[in-house]
Amino acid sequence: MRRRDFISILGGAMATWPLGARAQQSAMPVVGFLGTGTPSSWSQWTSAFVNRLRELGRIEGRTVRIEYRWAEGRNDRYAEIAAELVRLKVDAIVTQGTPSVLAAKQATSVIPIVFASAGDPVGSGLVETLARPNGNVTGLSSQATDSAPKRLELLREVVPTLRTLAIMADAGNPFSVLEVGEVQAAARSLGLSIALSEIRRVDDIAPAFDLIKGRTEALFISTDPLLIANLTRINTLAQSVQMATIGSWREFVEAGSLMSYGSNIPDQFRRAAELVDRILNGTRPGDIPVEQPTKFEFVINLKTARALSLTIPPGLLARADEVIE
């Protein structure tokens, strides 16, 4: 080969290689978003996530693509959606809640998984430790097991005559088992008996009220995707039998619960966006410590209190972060 031809070929290759490299580098990353509820019920959380990504320079549709999939409160959809996102070869999977994270973990040990909220990530087997998750999973803990006894104490202040506490939980959620255990221990210390309703699907909710109505004045709603997707239905049924309800997040109160005490979930979705940004920049998820809540919120629904003919003690009102009229 003549020297001139060789230089020409080499020059062409050098000119072509950066273009290919640039094209590879500029390929738009894809985030799989496994929503356990519906687009409307998750609208605040999704907006918080997308807005924080935008602040970090990742603009949906321009510099990042988000593939949304919605389970609509059906536990049996998690594995199917996770498998679909894996087939799409997304660069990261974002979700919330222990069952959906476990489904994603089962679907892939390679694609990074970020949970915006999980009640007890270590106890539920999502990560090895909070400081060093290892594997392909990281995210944010809501510390829902730790705060469960506090919710029961607040409920007891509003319903001092409470003798039997009803608990509604998803029997198929490993976290719910842990949370119920914490509540049962706290109830025993307060001298309360328990009426446990285990839910596995939406159709179990209404019959559960037939079993507990007349036996109690209050219901503890477990922090579970299936129940969260059906909060309005649960609270409507509870009010129809004059039963006060309490849950972990302000979204419970917005759906009609009497009170909530727990972490701020929109804030956790914002922070989840920061974790996704770090992962897309090359950080391994197993090297990112699981973060803790930065704030716990106590919210009261006075409209529900009036409907239940309950008087909220002034001292409790003063301690609330927000009172919904």
Query: pLDDT confidence of 144, banded at 50, 70, 90?
Result: confident
- Could you tell me if 187 and 252 lie in one domain? yes
pLDDT score of 3 more than 60: no
pLDDT digits (tens, 9 = 90+) for 192-245: 999 999 999 899 999 999 989 889 999 999 999 899 999 999 999 999 999 999
CA 110 to chain centre: 22
Domain assignment present for residue 15? The answer is: no
**315 belongs to a structural domain:** yes
- Looking at residue 117, what is its pLDDT? 94
Closest Cα to residue 79, out of 24, 34, 39? Answer: 34
Considering the domain architecture, whether residues 133 and 58 belong to the same structural domain is answered as: yes
251 and 156, same domain (yes or no): yes
Q: Do 256 and 273 belong to one domain?
A: no
Q: What is the residue range of 226's domain?
A: 144-263+297-324
Confidence band of 155 (pLDDT split at 50, 70, 90):
very high
More confident residue, 12 or 316: 316
- Assess if residue 78 is contained within a domain: yes
pLDDT at position 2 is 45
Identify whether residues 112 and 165 lie together within a single domain: no
Please say if the pLDDT value at position 97 is more than 70.
yes
Q: Say if residue 160's pLDDT is above 70.
A: yes
Read off the pLDDT of each residue in 21-42 and give the average, rounded to a whole number: 79
Length of the chain: 325
Is 5 contained in some domain? no
CATH of the domain at 251: 3.40.50.2300
Rounded to the nearest integer, the mean pLDDT of the chain is 90
Rg (CA), the chain: 24
The rounded distance, in Å, linking the Cα atoms of 304 and 238 is 11
Q: Decide if pLDDT at 123 tops 60.
A: yes
What integer pLDDT is reported at residue 69 of this predicted model? Answer: 98
pLDDT at 219: 97
* Cα 6 from Cα 154, distance rounded (Å): 81
139 has pLDDT over 50 = yes
- Separation CA 31–CA 89 (nearest Å): 9
State yes or no: pLDDT of 23 exceeds 50: no
Whether the per-residue pLDDT at 19 is higher than 50: the answer is no
Q: Are residues 291 and 215 part of one domain?
A: no
Q: Please give the average per-residue pLDDT across 38-54, as a whole number.
A: 96
Residues 311 and 163 reside in one and the same domain: yes
Total domains, the chain: 2
Using 50, 70 and 90 to split pLDDT, how confident is the model at 171? confident
Mean local confidence (pLDDT), 63-88? 96
